[in-house]
Amino acid sequence: MSYVNFEAFFLGPKGENSEFYQRLLKEMLDQHVIWRKAFHADSTSKFISDDDKQLKSFKDAQEKIQNTLYTLQEILKSSQPFFSPRYIGHMNWEVMMAAVLAYFSASLYNPNNVAFAGSTGTTLLELEVGKDLLNLFGIDPVKGWGHICTGGTIANMEALWIARNMKMIPLVLQTMLKNFIEEKKIHSTALPDYAHSLLGQKHHELLNNYSPAAILNLKEKCFALFEKQLPERIDYKNRQRYIEETFDKLCMQTQGFTWNDSSDRLDLGVVYLPQSKHYSFSKAMDLLGMGRKNLRFVPVDSNFRLDVNILENMLFNEERPILSVICVMGSTEESSVDEVHKVVSLRDKLEKEKGKSFHLHIDAAYGGYARALFLDEMNQFMSKEQLKFRLREFGIIGDKADRLTVSWPSDVVYESYEAMKDADTITVDPHKLGYIPYPAGGIVLKDKRMREAIHAFAPYVFGKPEKNQPDILIGSYILEGSKPGAAAAAVWTAHRVMPLNISGYGKLIGETIDGAHALFHGLQTLNPVTISENITIQVYVLAKPDLNIVNYIFNFSENSNLQKLNRLTAFIASKIFGPDPIKSHLMLEKSFIVSTTALSQEEYGDIPFDFLKRIGISLEEWHKVQNLQVIRSVVMSPYLTTDFVDENYVEKFRSTIEKELIQHSDEIRRIYLLD
Ligand SMILES: Cc1ncc(COP(=O)(O)O)c(C=O)c1O
Higher pLDDT, 229 or 448: 448
Q: Is the CB of 91 inside a 6 Å radius of any atom of ligand 1? A: yes
Q: Is the CB of 90 inside a 6 Å radius of any atom of ligand 1? A: no
Mutate to test the pocket of ligand 1, among 92, 153, 438 (most ligand atoms within 8 A of CB): 153
> Which has the minimum average pLDDT: 101-105, 126-130, 386-390, 434-438?
386-390
Q: In this model, does residue 593 exceed pLDDT 60?
A: yes
Note the pLDDT of residue 175: 77
Note the pLDDT of residue 468: 58
Q: In this structure, which residue's CA is closest to atom 15 in ligand 1?
A: 332
Q: Is the CB of 569 inside a 6 Å radius of any atom of ligand 1? A: no
List pLDDT tens digits, range 233-255: 344 455 556 666 777 788 888 88
Q: In this model, does residue 68 exceed pLDDT 90?
A: yes
Q: In this model, does residue 202 exceed pLDDT 60?
A: no
Q: State whether residue 618 is helix, strand or coil.
A: coil
Strands 270-274 and 145-149: unpaired
Q: In this model, does residue 570 exceed pLDDT 70?
A: yes
Q: In this structure, which residue's CA is closest to atom 5 in ligand 1?
A: 152
Q: Is the CB of 159 inside a 6 Å radius of any atom of ligand 1? A: no
Ligand 1 midpoint to CA 50 (Å):
50
Q: In this model, does residue 127 exceed pLDDT 60?
A: yes
Higher pLDDT, 235 or 519: 519
What's the rounded Cα separation, in Å, for the pair 375 and 144?
A: 19
Higher pLDDT, 404 or 457: 457
Quick one: average pLDDT of 605-632?
96
Query: E strands, 557-659, where?
Result: 593-600, 627-634
- Residue 228: count other Cβ atoms within 10 Å of its Cβ: 14
Would you say 631 and 569 are in contact if contact means Cβ atoms under 8 Å apart? yes
Of the candidates 103, 242, 460, 477, the residue annotated as catalytic is 460
Q: In this model, does residue 620 exceed pLDDT 80?
A: yes
Catalytic site includes residue 460: yes
Q: Is the CB of 638 inside a 6 Å radius of any atom of ligand 1? A: no
List pLDDT tens digits, range 409-429: 999 999 999 999 999 999 999
Query: E strands, 256-412, where?
Result: 270-274, 295-298, 322-328, 359-363
Q: In this model, does residue 25 exceed pLDDT 50?
A: yes
Q: In this model, does residue 227 exceed pLDDT 50?
A: no
Ligand 1 midpoint to CA 622 (Å):
29
Quick one: average pLDDT of 203-218?
57
- Residue 103: count other Cβ atoms within 10 Å of its Cβ: 24
Note the pLDDT of residue 171: 77
Read off the pLDDT band of 337 (50, 70, 90). very high
Ligand 1 midpoint to CA 251 (Å):
30
Read off the pLDDT band of 231 (50, 70, 90). very low
> Which has the minimum average pLDDT: 272-281, 437-446, 573-582, 634-643?
573-582
- Residue 444: count other Cβ atoms within 10 Å of its Cβ: 31
**How far is the CA of 597 from the CAs of 135, 334, 601, in angstroms?**
34, 10, 13
Proportion of the chain above pLDDT 90, given as a percent: 69
Q: Which amino acid, one-letter code, is at 365? A: A
List pLDDT tens digits, range 356-374: 889 999 999 999 999 999 9
List pLDDT tens digits, range 140-198: 999 999 999 999 999 999 999 999 998 887 777 777 767 766 665 555 544 545 555 44
Proportion of the chain above pLDDT 70, given as a percent: 86
Ligand 1 midpoint to CA 584 (Å):
24
Q: In this model, does residue 579 exceed pLDDT 80?
A: no
What's the rounded Cα separation, in Å, for the pair 662 and 601?
A: 32
Quick one: average pLDDT of 441-468?
74
Residue 294: burial class (beta carbons within 10 Å; 0-12, 13-18, 19+): middle
- Residue 147 pairs in a beta bridge with 443
Edge-to-edge strands, sheet with 322-328: 145-149, 441-445, 425-427, 359-363, 322-328, 270-274, 295-298
Strands 425-427 and 322-328: unpaired
Ligand 1 midpoint to CA 8 (Å):
28
Listed residue (215, 222, 220) closest to 321, CA to CA: 215
**How far is the CA of 387 from the CAs of 200, 372, 393, 394, in angstroms?**
39, 11, 10, 11
Q: In this structure, which residue's CA is closest to atom 14 in ligand 1?
A: 332
Q: Is the CB of 278 inside a 6 Å radius of any atom of ligand 1? A: yes
Note the pLDDT of residue 510: 95
178-182, 223-227, 526-530, range with greatest mean pLDDT: 526-530
Give, for 549, the enclosing helix (H) or strand (E). Answer: strand 549-556
Those residues with Cβ within 8 angstroms of residue 600's Cβ, 6 or more apart along the chain or in another chain: 626, 627, 628
Quick one: average pLDDT of 651-669?
95
Note the pLDDT of residue 183: 65
> Which has the minimum average pLDDT: 47-56, 334-343, 462-471?
462-471
**How far is the CA of 651 from the CAs of 258, 450, 662, in angstroms?**
62, 50, 17
What's the rounded Cα separation, in Å, for the pair 74 and 72?
A: 5
pTM of the model: 0.93
